[in-house]
Amino acid sequence: MENLRGTKSQEEQWMLQNQCFRIYDIVSRLPPQAQSVNVEVRRENHIEYLTKSLKQLGPNFSVLDANRPWLCYWIIHSITLLGDCVDDKLENDFIDFLCRCQGQDGGYGGGPGQMPHLATTYAAINSLITVGGHKSLSSINREKMYEFLLRMKDASGGFRMHDGGEVDVRACYTAISVASVLNILDDRLIQNVGDYIVSCQTFEGGISGEPGSEAHGGYTFCGLAAMVLINEVDRLNLPGLINWVVFRQGIECGFQGRTNKLVDGCYSFWQGGVAAIIQRLHLTVNKQLGLPDTFGCKTESDNDSSDSEGEELSEGSSSPVEIHHPTKGGGKLNTTVAMGVNCGYDFIKRPIGMKPIFNSKALQQYILLCSQEEAGFRDKPGKRKDHYHTCYVLSGLSICQHCNARDADSPPLPGDVMGPYSNLLESVHPLYNIVLDKYYEAYEFFA
């Protein structure tokens, strides 16, 4: 990364600018065959499938024994994205069940009495925030949660999934996401986690699960989101990451998770989420490329246009605010939290300064035509629907529909939503994958 920040020769600058033009150029063309399709999101069918699944599970949500909070999250998040909610009885069962998964020493296990685990802790917290309301939010023991997260901290700076478990980028993200959304993130939790994540960025530009492994969409989302939440995203090679992610959208219009693998509906969120995060990091991207702040930014007329794909990118007149706080890697303290900055909130309040770096129409086409079943969503034709894919395909569809908006609180224009405008889903906070209104409620509650 030093070469992107240090003094550059004219030739180096020219090469970097060229690389950037190449990225933007590819994005505006790929894949070329995306056309408008008038396919509806089968909203009522999906809601019925999801609500029925919840009811069939009963008050113990007994299925997939070590993954029950995940099942809760996939279903409740999907229902909320579709603009619906569950009835009072189900909501109470939901909260009571997750309370029984909460360990006495903090964190949530895969079921009542099970060992707390970072993945199920993340799923439980996102579920409780999605349900919202006083009973749900106040059921979370934040003091014990902080102790649990500290216990999961490894000497490398990374986090372990559970006591004696593996250290990886997923653990780093789930720990940082939970701490951030509950407003308990501090220097002790942050210390050196950026070093661990930086060590996982591979030669391809994406991020792997552990140092030395292959870059993958799931881990790239986790690593990038965590770096934003700790305000150290400028330590990643962002042009390299963009270069990697734009090539993950295939001619089938969907995203693949890694090089030379098949596209799959769930990467609509993992890779689409990466793209959505990048759109708010244009100042850092341009700085790393040695370009002016306004390069590749959206203009006022871009925001007024309903279909901007394929247009030339020009210097923008908008003045995006990307707040920079002093961050220090290499084992020193990150001062962000001491300065009272909430990076998750800060991030979502920024204007979306860059055009989408993926073809959102094409991805909507893949989702509506290839992933959608009569009720529920799947990886690809020939595979069966499931709750995991329903959750992440819907999350990706929401990302597509909202990626041309001026900012998080502006509604998309009709041209941004493939099919009838009634297909529009709720928007999500891309760093946590929580429906935005529910995130705002939690932000106020834990402020």
Ligand X SMILES: CC(C)=CCC/C(C)=C/CC/C(C)=C/COP(=O)(O)OP(=O)(O)O
Of 125, 226, 230, 266, the one binding Zn ion by CB under 5 A: 266
Residue closer to ligand X by CB (options 121, 327) is 121
For ligand X, the binding residues in 24-63 under the rule CB under 6 A are none
Is residue 343 flagged as an active site residue? no
Is 386 catalytic? The answer is yes
Among positions 119, 131, 417, 436, the unique one binding ligand X when judged by CB under 6 A: 119
379 binds, among ligand X, Zn ion, none (CB under 5 to 8 A by kind): Zn ion
Q: Which stretch binds ligand X (CB under 6 A): 149-157, 180-188, 217-225, 395-403?
A: 217-225
Nearer to ligand X, 212 or 340 (CB): 212
Query: Judged by CB under 6 A, does residue 302 bind ligand X?
Result: no
At its nearest, how many Å lie between Zn ion and the CB of residue 396?
11
Confirm or reject binding of residue 272 to ligand X (CB under 6 A).
no
Q: Is 263 in the site for Zn ion (CB under 5 A)?
A: no
CA–CA distances in Å: residue 61 to residues 9, 51, 95, 101: 61, 12, 11, 11
Binding site partner of 219, from ligand X, Zn ion, none, Cβ cut-off 5-8 A by kind:
ligand X
Q: Is 325 a catalytic residue?
A: no
CA angle 98, 173, 365 (to 5 degrees): 90
Query: For residues 429 and 175, what is the distance between their CA atoms, to the nearest angstrom?
Result: 17
Candidate residues 157, 239, 240, 257; the one interacting with ligand X per rule CB under 6 A: 257
4: exposed, middle or buried (Cβ count in 10 Å: 0-12, 13-18, 19+) = middle
Is 379 labeled as catalytic in the residue annotation?
A: yes
46 binds, among ligand X, Zn ion, none (CB under 5 to 8 A by kind): none
380 binds ligand X (CB under 6 A): no
Binding of ligand X by 398 (CB under 6 A): no
Catalytic residue among 144, 151, 261, 325: 261
If one asks whether residue 69 binds ligand X (CB under 6 A), the answer comes out as no
The CB-of-68 to ligand X minimum distance in angstroms stands at: 15
170 is a site residue for ligand X (CB under 6 A) = yes
Told to judge if 258 belongs to the known catalytic residues of this protein, a careful annotator would answer: yes
SS (H, E, C) the chain: CHHHHCCCCHHHHHHHHHHHHHHHHHHHHCCCCCCCCCCCCCHHHHHHHHHHHHHHHCCCCCCCHHHHHHHHHHHHHHHHHCCCCCCHHHHHHHHHHHHHHECCCCCECCCCCCCCCHHHHHHHHHHHHHHCCHHHHHCCCHHHHHHHHHHHECCCCCEECCCCCCECHHHHHHHHHHHHHCCCCCHHHHCCHHHHHHCCECCCCCECCCCCCCCCHHHHHHHHHHHHHCCCHHHCCHHHHHHHHHCCECCCCCEECCCCCCECCCHHHHHHHHHHHHCCCHHHHHHHHCCCCCCCECCHHHHHCCCCCCCCCCCCCCCCCCCCCCCCCCCCCCCCCCCCCCHHHHHHCCCCCECCCCCHHHHHHHHHHHHECCCCECCCCCCCCCHHHHHHHHHHHHHHHHCCCCCCCCCCCHHHCCCCHHHCCCCEECCCCEEHHHHHHHHHHHC
Asked if 95 and 128 count as a contact pair (C-beta separation under 8 A), the reply is yes
Q: Choose one: 173-181, 265-273, 393-401, 404-412; the region binding Zn ion (CB under 5 A).
A: 265-273
CB of 235 to Zn ion, least distance (A): 29
Q: Which residue is nearest to ligand X (CB)?
A: 218
Q: Which two tokens stand for residue 353?
A: 């300064």
Angle at 308 between CA 304 and CA 310, to 5 degrees: 160
The answer to whether residue 379 forms part of the interface with Zn ion (CB under 5 A) is: yes
Nearest residue to Zn ion, by Cβ distance, number only: 266
Active site residue 406: no
Q: Among 254-262, 272-280, 320-328, 412-420, which window interacts with ligand X (CB under 6 A)?
A: 254-262
Stretch that binds ligand X, among 185-193, 216-224, 356-364, 423-431 (CB under 6 A): 216-224
Exactly one of 264, 309, 322, 441 binds ligand X (CB under 6 A); that residue is 264
Sole window of 28-36, 256-264, 271-279, 337-345 interacting with ligand X (rule: CB under 6 A) = 256-264
Residue 174 binding partner per list ligand X, Zn ion, none, with a CB distance cut-off of 5 to 8 Å that depends on partner kind? ligand X
270 binds ligand X (CB under 6 A): yes
Residues known to be catalytic = 216, 258, 261, 264, 266-267, 379, 386, 389
Positions touching ligand X (CB under 6 A) are: 119, 122, 170, 173-174, 216, 218-219, 222, 257-258, 261, 264, 270
Positions touching Zn ion (CB under 5 A) are: 264, 266, 379
